């Protein structure tokens, strides 16, 4: 038997040993091949999920298109009420779902709970938003005319999510898409398919209790080939995809080819600038959590520290001391800070990064290594590492999804640090640690950070759902969750109404008959 109450959690969530992987809600289809999900925590098989066949995809899609007709005409606040109930179910199942996230993905139980909390938060946000899908009104240039704009539901939204946030990213998309009147089809990562099964069951129960049709929440499973069913499908006006830049370029190209919309959340290469005026204690906490939290597998993980030369040694020594305190092991054991990487491929990429940084002339100040022996049987546990490096090293330019932190030194003005920070292909998250107002404002200015997220005296990870989440350049340009990110899930319509008996033309054009 598995420890830490995993079996009980799976039972509460309705996750079986073998699960059908294709669903329109309460109905499930048998599928083709099977995906086995092994836990990186102890290497054990958790369960299996069947993949979606082409025929099943077609069946699922016709159910989704039918459901859209009913869902889009339901008043948005009523859709909000359904999302409110979904949030309530998530509150009820927060512990088992957080546990499954931790066990299937490997992040700490606290972070698993945090992820479910993000789901609850976005539901609350969406409920309020369901009464605020505002358009603007404009004054017409023509007498007796009125102009306004409306946001209408878009249709079927395809969601492709990554293993690292196996439940939250789906909810950021679905909670908004649902209140906007869209129906959703989700393909979770093949590395965390059971999280998908659990979430689908939670959603399906709520939709069924409200006597809503099948097809508002759909699930498909499989590798990129199943993803392609959606990306090439003209009936799916929006694809929201989270993952690597490599994947995003393929998805963006495929969806663009048919002039669909895509919302891309891709790689980051996030840095914290540490200026001479930084609070060192705060810097260390922010940097260590950012670099080793989720074992360095967040898009927002801290990859680079850009430290002023005058405090470089002090920061380095404090980091080395902090890394010495980290305990690595079973993430369900709350005494551990760092859990495993997702799988052995990730371990190989981590080892490659350490080898490459040394080859390129870097210096390891905290040596890494793969852990072996009792408690580390899965082969996925590694030691977080720190390397002194240069920003132009090939490996530093590259996002390695592992706990490897690069220390970069700058001298002179904060502008030099900003140049280094912006000197990578990715543009997701960034931060500055300083008590100097001028430095902070320069970092946030037009000439400052080029990222979608720029923080002052906070690390790069742990964004709240209330802000728009996403980034520029190779990060893909998409924005999810808060602020007005909802607009991408709707189609905008401009309406002009004439309430006179004349038909004046715009731009003063005369056309007399």
Minimal distance, residue 508 CB to ligand UN1, in Å:
51
The verdict on 463 binding ligand UN1 (CB under 6 A) reads yes
Window contacting ligand UN1 (CB under 6 A); options: 128-136, 294-302, 327-335, 404-412: 294-302
Asked if 425 and 237 count as a contact pair (C-beta separation under 8 A), the reply is no
CA distance 173 to 154: 13
**Site for ligand UN1 contains 462 (CB under 6 A):** yes
Verify whether residue 55 is a known catalytic residue.
no
Contacts of 508 (CB under 8 A, 6+ apart): none
Q: Which of 461, 471, 474, 482 binds ligand UN1 (CB under 6 A)?
A: 461
Kindly state the number of chain residues that form the binding site for ligand UN1, as judged by CB under 6 A: 11
> 405 and 305 in contact (C-beta within 8 Å)?
yes
With binding defined as CB under 6 A, does residue 475 bind ligand UN1?
no
**Which candidate, 166, 82, 81, 80, places its Cα nearest to that of 116?**
166
Residue among 41 and 169 whose Cβ is closer to ligand UN1:
169
Q: Identify the residue whose tokens are 């069946």.
A: 59
Please report whether residue 165 would count as binding ligand UN1 according to CB under 6 A. Answer: yes
Can you tell me which of 50, 174, 270, 300 binds ligand UN1, judged by CB under 6 A?
300
Cβ at position 463, least distance to ligand UN1 in Å = 3
Burial of 438 (0-12, 13-18, 19+ CB in 10 A): exposed
Which one of 132-140, 311-319, 353-361, 460-468 is the stretch in contact with ligand UN1 (CB under 6 A)? 460-468
Residue 268 CB, nearest distance to ligand UN1 (Å)?
8
Q: 255-292 burial, b if ≥16 CB within 10 A, otherwise e?
A: beeeebbbbbbbbbbbbbbbbebbeeeebbebbbbbbb
Contact call for residue 298 and ligand UN1 (CB under 6 A): yes
Selected from 164, 221, 240, 270, the binder of ligand UN1 by CB under 6 A is 164
* Nearer to ligand UN1 (CB atom), residue 20 or residue 186: 186
CB 248 within 8 A of CB 76: no
Q: What is the CA radius of gyration of the chain?
A: 24
Q: Which is nearer to ligand UN1, 347 or 465 (CB)?
A: 465
Residue with smaller CB distance to ligand UN1, 89 or 399: 399
Q: How far is the CB of 162 from ligand UN1 (least distance, A)?
A: 6
Q: How many CA atoms lie within 13 A of 284 on its CB side?
A: 18
DSSP 64-109: HHHHHHHHTTS-HHHHHHHHHHHHHHHHHTHHHHHHHHHHHH---H
Residue 290 CB, nearest approach to ligand UN1 (Å): 9
Residue nearest ligand UN1 by beta-carbon distance? 463
In this chain, which stretch among 1-9, 198-206, 297-305, 368-376 interacts with ligand UN1, using CB under 6 A? 297-305
For residues 121 and 168, give the distance between their C-alpha atoms in angstroms, rounded to a whole number.
Answer: 10
Whether the CB-CB separation of 156 and 61 falls below 8 Å is answered with: yes
Under the binding rule (CB under 6 A), the answer on residue 299 touching ligand UN1 is: yes
CB of 7 to ligand UN1, least distance (A): 28
What's the CA angle centered on 477, arms 472 and 482, to 5 degrees? Answer: 105
* Nearest C-alpha neighbor of 195 from the set 10, 24, 45, 341: 10
Do 94 and 58 contact (CB within 8 A), yes or no?
A: no
Q: For ligand UN1, give the closer residue by CB, 242 or 426.
A: 242
Name the active-site residue from 118, 265, 399, 439.
265
Smallest gap, in angstroms, from Cβ of residue 428 to ligand UN1? 9
| Closest CB to ligand UN1 among residues 47, 482 | 482
Neighbouring CB atoms inside 10 A of 456's CB total 15
Q: By C-beta, is 30 or 466 nearer to ligand UN1?
A: 466
Nearest to 80 by CA among 167, 177, 154, 170: 177
Nearer Cβ to ligand UN1, position 133 or 463?
463
Under the binding rule (CB under 6 A), the answer on residue 130 touching ligand UN1 is no
> Smallest gap, in angstroms, from Cβ of residue 168 to ligand UN1?
7
Could you tell me the sign of the dihedral formed by the alpha carbons of 324, 326, 330, 335, in that order?
positive
What's the farthest any 2 CA atoms get from each other in the chain?
A: 90
Could you tell me the smallest distance in angstroms from the CB atom of residue 299 to ligand UN1?
Answer: 4
Stretch that binds ligand UN1, among 44-52, 298-306, 329-337, 497-505 (CB under 6 A): 298-306
Contact between 467 and ligand UN1 by CB under 6 A: the answer reads: no
Q: What is the dihedral of CA 48, 51, 56, 61, to 10 degrees?
A: 100
Contacts with ligand UN1, residue ranges (CB under 6 A) = 118, 164-165, 169, 242, 298-300, 461-463
Catalytic residues: 265
């Amino acid at each position: 038997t598995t420890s830490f109450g995993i079996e009980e959690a799976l039972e509460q969530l309705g996750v079986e040993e073998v699960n059908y992987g294709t669903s329109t809600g309460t109905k499930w289809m048998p599928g083709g091949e099977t995906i086995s999900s092994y836990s990186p925590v102890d290497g054990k098989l958790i369960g299996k999920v069947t993949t979606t066949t082409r025929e099943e995809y077609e069946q699922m899609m016709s159910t989704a298109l039918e459901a859209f007709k009913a869902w889009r005409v339901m008043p948005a606040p009523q859709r909000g009420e359904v999302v409110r109930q979904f949030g309530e179910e998530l509150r009820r199942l927060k512990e088992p779902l957080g546990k499954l996230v931790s066990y299937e993905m490997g992040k700490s139980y606290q972070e698993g709970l945090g992820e479910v909390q993000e789901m609850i938060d976005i539901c609350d946000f969406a409920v309020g938003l369901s009464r605020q899908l505002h358009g603007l009104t404009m004054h017409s240039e023509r007498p007796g005319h009125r102009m306004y704009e409306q946001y209408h539901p878009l249709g079927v939204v395809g969601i492709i999510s990554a293993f690292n946030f196996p439940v939250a990213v789906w909810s950021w998309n679905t909670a908004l898409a649902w209140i906007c009147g869209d129906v959703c089809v989700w393909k979770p990562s093949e590395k965390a398919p059971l999280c998908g099964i659990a979430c689908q069951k939670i959603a399906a129960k709520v939709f069924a209790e409200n006597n809503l049709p099948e097809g508002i929440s759909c699930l498909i499973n499989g590798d990129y080939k199943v993803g392609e069913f959606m990306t090439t499908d003209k009936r799916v006006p929006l694809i929201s995809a989270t993952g690597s830049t490599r994947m995003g370029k393929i998805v963006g190209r495929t969806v663009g080819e048919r002039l669909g919309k895509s919302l891309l959340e891709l790689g980051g290469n996030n840095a914290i600038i540490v200026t001479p005026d930084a609070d060192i204690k705060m810097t260390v906490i922010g940097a260590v959590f950012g670099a080793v939290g989720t074992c360095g597998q967040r898009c927002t993980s801290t990859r680079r520290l850009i430290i002023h030369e005058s405090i470089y040694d002090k920061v380095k020594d404090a980091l080395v001391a902090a890394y010495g305190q980290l305990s690595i092991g079973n993430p369900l054991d709350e005494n551990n800070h760092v859990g495993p990487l997702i799988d052995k491929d990730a371990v190989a990429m981590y080892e490659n990064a350490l080898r490459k940084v040394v080859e390129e002339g870097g210096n390891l100040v905290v040596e890494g290594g793969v852990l072996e022996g009792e408690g580390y049987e899965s082969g996925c546990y590694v030691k977080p590492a720190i390397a002194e490096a240069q920003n132009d090293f090939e490996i530093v330019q590259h996002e390695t999804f592992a706990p490897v932190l690069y220390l970069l030194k700058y001298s002179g003005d904060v502008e030099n640090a900003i140049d280094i920070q912006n000197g990578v292909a990715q543009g997701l998250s960034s931060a500055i640690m300083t008590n100097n107002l001028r430095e902070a404002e320069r970092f946030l200015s037009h000439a400052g950070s080029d990222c979608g997220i720029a923080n002052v005296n906070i690390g790069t990870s742990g964004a709240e759902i209330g802000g728009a989440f996403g980034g520029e350049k190779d990060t893909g340009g998409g924005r999810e969750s808060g602020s007005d990110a909802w607009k991408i899930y709707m189609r905008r319509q401009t309406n002009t109404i004439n309430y006179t008996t004349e038909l004046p033309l715009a731009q003063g054009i005369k056309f007399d008959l």
